[in-house]
Amino acid sequence: MGSNMAENHPVGFQWVMEAKLRGAPVIHVDPRFTRTSANATMHVPIRAGSDIAFLGGLVNYILEHDRWFHEYVVAYTNAATIVSEDFRDTEDLDGLFSGWDPERHAYDETSWRYEGVDSAGPAHRTGTVSRSESTGALGGRTIHAHPARDETLQHPRCVFQLLRRHFARYTPAMVEAVSGVPQQRFVEVAELLCSNSGRERTSAIVYSLGWTQHSVGVQIIRTAAIVQLLLGNIGRPGGGILALRGHASIQGSTDIPTLYDMLPGYMPMPHAEDINLEQYLADHRASGGGWGNLPAYLVSLLKAYYGDAATAENGFCFGHLPRVDHDQSTYRTAMGMLAGQVKGFFLPGENPAVGSANGKLHRMAMANLEWLVVRDLFLIESATFWRDSPEIARGDLKTADVKTEVFFLPAAAHTEKSGSFTNTQRLLQWHHTAIEPQGDCRSDLWFYYHLGRIIREKLASSTDPRDRLILDLSWSYPTEGRLGEPSADAVLREVNGWDAEGRALNGSGELKDDGSTACGCWIYSGSYADEVNQVARRRPGQEQTLVAPEWGWAWPANRRLLYNRASADPSGKPWSERKKYVWWDARKRRWVGLDVPDFNATKPPGYQPPEDAGGDGALPGDAPFIMQGDGRGWLFAPSGLLDGPLPPHYEPNESPFDNALYTQSANPARVRYDVPLNPYNADRERYPYVTTTVRLTEHHTTGAMSRTVAVLSELQPEFFCEVSPRLAAERDLEQGSWADIVTARGTIRARVLITERMKPIRVQGRDVEQVGLPYHWGYRGIVKGDSANDAFAIVLDPNVHIQEVKAATCDIRRADGPRR
């Protein structure tokens, strides 16, 4: 659901096909019938933007029909935990939770806390800075390991009852009305899921950008997490929730992040109010669970960054770290460009002119920069907007007026450099240089290393304290070969970390907070254990066990299945022989099994923590969710999310419908930018259809790596839109001819592909049509076309600032030919 796996992860999809051949039902819930649907056992058409209604319906079904995995839920989730008496649900406040402050446009989450916890944490303070996972799990002092619980699940304010109440109206009838999935169909899916979960069987949910690219993206995923926790599918083989990333190695780009609000390993970026290391640690360190070790992770990171310059006396150069004090996400940065606040921009391997929502806004924004550095394999649209963008073609922008100095530095391809590659399942693999890059092409590693080196050389004699930020960095890496390529292997070793003697660490358990260890990313610690590049291992799968632990290396600690303690019952015995994965061996007094246990290896299942224990020691032997402060899977999220502890169905920012459940129609916390270049579709009559961006197998993201390749351009040469025969008749569209898709942002033109795979959906008593728009085209390349993203406005999920392009509205009109 929220995924087109066969088309966009075809190699991974072979495993789904194998499972299907062995009898596994594959259910594809999607607004379109895609190549995934063609190979699924069941396709369920759904209105784009109604995923929470559907998933919430599943929660309702599971609870009302008593299909939840009792033992698992009581022991392993926070179902029994009692929530503050100040908490009010969307059922009480007609679509809002308690604590909404319309002036700040944010929630005060104090009332969401567990009962008995009264101190405020970082969320209260900021409210608008988006969160990293750590804040949610940590919550500082707000989460402790032993909140009040009612294991009978009867207490009116226990999570279980709150959950039941929150989803009480998400009946099959409501699911049909809001999402367009007929009740019978919905119940079929629910039954399949429920009957295939439990002790003997597990079910997995797979999602991709069909879930993330919504103003409620995070909450959609949360609802799936609730479903899977209730069914006991998390941490068990064949279960789980699998996020398929949208881009190669982008998992690595969040692990060692290129995100403004995170430090490596999902630690929060310091806020302006974190005046020193102590303040930061006090605010973010959890009292229980894995985040209790935050000091060791952060200090080791600082030692990796600043080497010998980082000492206990100077707080390990904590003061050198950049601070955030407001939303500085990529869209906010674009707004900053428009406002003249952002002068310069580095753009490595990213193409906002085509790939970001509201392409025109980004092109105009970049036209307002003083300088722009683009590093890519080809001259992408974002590098040439000043001479061939649609704005130039239309005359809205004149090249002579664009003062941006654009530098294009060609990049090396993945075959021309060595390095790691992190897949969505947290698996790191290594790729070796096969051929040296030609001409001036260089890898990003080369670029940033030498850029830093040159800047440091220029600043070497400076006495300005500001320059210590650069000069204190530890910046010596061995370089190799004619080009002086830094050794990626050496970087991996630094990421893995070393101890005071310079010996590579074997895992994050060896990290210290006294400055004796350095580690570039704590979750990657262990990737260079025993001085061996574990990531480069390639023992063939046929020679290994099911889990194949010697192919590559997975974080953390080469655990292939996260939270796998949950595959055994509270006493340490597998839930069933069929689904055994890790279990407690009483004789060896340790956890054993098919995988590295995601648990303290020697902590017995019956372990009860003493009063004063902290960190991992604070969690009992039957709390599998070791990164949560209370060790439990959160059905209710007391902290960490900006738009609610439970997921309500909200309509997309642009929708043909009012919210059938609440007066609060869309996500109150969603981020909008009300600027002239970002108008929203206000008039429902004018834009009556639902639209969504989609992806195709033949192209990759903005086409920089596929529309520049002849053999791929041949496979899908033109931008097309998918419409149902009924919509085509309504708007007089002809097969293979052209149409204009119209929104408040402007008009884009596409070929018309009329297909029975698109059907009108019946929602709230009337039929609505949906238009599918593959977003791969731009104004450069062997094949060119209009960009789908030009039709969408910028409206974001508040937690992660991702754009909502999977549900919006549009009109579609017949056009008489291709754009001239």
Partner 1 sequence: MAKTYAPPAFVAPAKPGQPVGFFTDSSICIGCKACEVACKQWNNVPVDDIRYLNSSYDNTGELSANSWRHVAFIEKKQADGGVAWLMNSDVCKHCKEAACLDVCPTGAIFRTEFDTVVVQADVCNGCGYCIAACPFGVLTRREGIASRPETNGVAQKCTLCYDRLSGGEEPACAHACPTKSIQFGPLDELRERAQQRVAELRAEGRTEARLYLADEKDNGIGGAGSMFLLLDEPGAYRLPEHPVVPTRRLKEIWGAAAMAAGLAVAGVLFAFGSSRR
Contact residues toward partner 1 (CB under 8 A) are 6-7, 10-11, 13-14, 17-18, 21-23, 33, 35-39, 43, 542, 696-698, 710-718, 720, 735-736, 751, 753, 755-757, 782-783
Closer residue to partner 1 in complex, CB, 6/380? 6
Residue reference for tokens 């303690």: 565
Are 61 and 172 spatial neighbours (Cβ–Cβ below 8 Å)?
Answer: yes
Are 284 and 136 spatial neighbours (Cβ–Cβ below 8 Å)?
Answer: no
What number of other Cβ atoms are within 10 A of residue 747's Cβ? 16
Q: How many residues does the chain have?
A: 820
**382: helix, strand or coil:** helix
Contacts of 91 (CB under 8 A, 6+ apart): 165, 166, 168, 169
Cβ 708 to partner 1 shortest distance, Å: 13
Pairing outcome for strands 738-743 and 479-480: unpaired
Cβ 736 to partner 1 shortest distance, Å: 4
Cβ 387 to partner 1 shortest distance, Å: 24
Closer residue to partner 1 in complex, CB, 115/698? 698
Pairing outcome for strands 766-768 and 761-763: antiparallel
Closer residue to partner 1 in complex, CB, 169/751? 751
- 351 alpha-carbon distance from chain centroid: 19
**583: helix, strand or coil:** strand
Q: How far apart are CA 471 and CA 452, in angstroms?
A: 10
Closer residue to partner 1 in complex, CB, 459/709? 709
Looking at residue 125, the DSSP 8-state letter turns out to be H
Q: How far apart are CA 442 and CA 485, in angstroms?
A: 8
Looking at residue 649, the DSSP 8-state letter turns out to be P
In order, the DSSP letters of 249-267 are THHHHHHTT-STTEETTTE
Closer residue to partner 1 in complex, CB, 8/809? 8
Closer residue to partner 1 in complex, CB, 430/777? 777
Closer residue to partner 1 in complex, CB, 40/535? 40
Cβ 24 to partner 1 shortest distance, Å: 10
Closer residue to partner 1 in complex, CB, 784/806? 784
Q: How far apart are CA 382 and CA 364, in angstroms?
A: 11
Closer residue to partner 1 in complex, CB, 23/481? 23
Closer residue to partner 1 in complex, CB, 32/222? 32
Cβ 787 to partner 1 shortest distance, Å: 17
Closer residue to partner 1 in complex, CB, 85/756? 756
3-state helix, strand, coil in the chain (%, to 5): 30, 15, 50
Cβ 697 to partner 1 shortest distance, Å: 5
Cβ 716 to partner 1 shortest distance, Å: 6
From the list 682, 330, 259, 298, the residue with the least C-alpha distance to 497 is: 298
Closer residue to partner 1 in complex, CB, 118/714? 714
Closer residue to partner 1 in complex, CB, 555/720? 720
Cβ 168 to partner 1 shortest distance, Å: 33
Q: How far is CA 243 from CA 335, 643, 660, in A?
A: 29, 21, 29
Pairing outcome for strands 205-207 and 241-243: parallel
Closer residue to partner 1 in complex, CB, 52/758? 758
What number of other Cβ atoms are within 10 A of residue 192's Cβ? 15
Closer residue to partner 1 in complex, CB, 6/178? 6
Q: How far apart are CA 473 and CA 451, in angstroms?
A: 13
Cβ 714 to partner 1 shortest distance, Å: 5
**CB neighbour burial string for 689-702, b if at least 16 within 10 angstroms, e if fewer:** bbbbbbbbbbbbbb
Cβ 786 to partner 1 shortest distance, Å: 14
Q: What φ, ψ does residue 463 adopt, rounded to 5°? A: -110, 5
Cis omega before residue 556 (within 30°)? yes
Are 29 and 40 spatial neighbours (Cβ–Cβ below 8 Å)?
Answer: no
What is the crossing angle of helices 183-195 and 172-179, to 10°? 120
Closer residue to partner 1 in complex, CB, 462/544? 544
Cβ 486 to partner 1 shortest distance, Å: 31
Q: How far apart are CA 145 and CA 139, in angstroms?
A: 12
Sort residue 715 into left (φ over 0), alpha (ψ -120 to 50) or beta: alpha
Cβ 322 to partner 1 shortest distance, Å: 42
The residue ranges of DSSP E strands in 244-342, in sequence order, are 262-263, 267-268
Q: How far apart are CA 508 and CA 598, in angstroms?
A: 13
Cβ 551 to partner 1 shortest distance, Å: 15
Contacts of 611 (CB under 8 A, 6+ apart): none
Cβ 326 to partner 1 shortest distance, Å: 43
Q: How far is CA 807 from CA 30, 56, 692, in A?
A: 12, 18, 5
Both structure tokens of 214? 């919504």
Cβ 17 to partner 1 shortest distance, Å: 5
Closer residue to partner 1 in complex, CB, 3/713? 713
Cβ 725 to partner 1 shortest distance, Å: 10
Greatest pairwise CA separation for the chain in angstroms: 79
Q: Find the Cα–Cα–Cα–Cα dihedral 656, 662, 667, 669, rounded to 10°.
A: 150
Cβ 200 to partner 1 shortest distance, Å: 15
Both structure tokens of 266? 């999902």
Are 749 and 720 spatial neighbours (Cβ–Cβ below 8 Å)?
Answer: no
Cβ 26 to partner 1 shortest distance, Å: 12
Q: How far apart are CA 635 and CA 166, in angstroms?
A: 12
Both structure tokens of 355? 């790939």
**572: helix, strand or coil:** coil
Closer residue to partner 1 in complex, CB, 326/538? 538
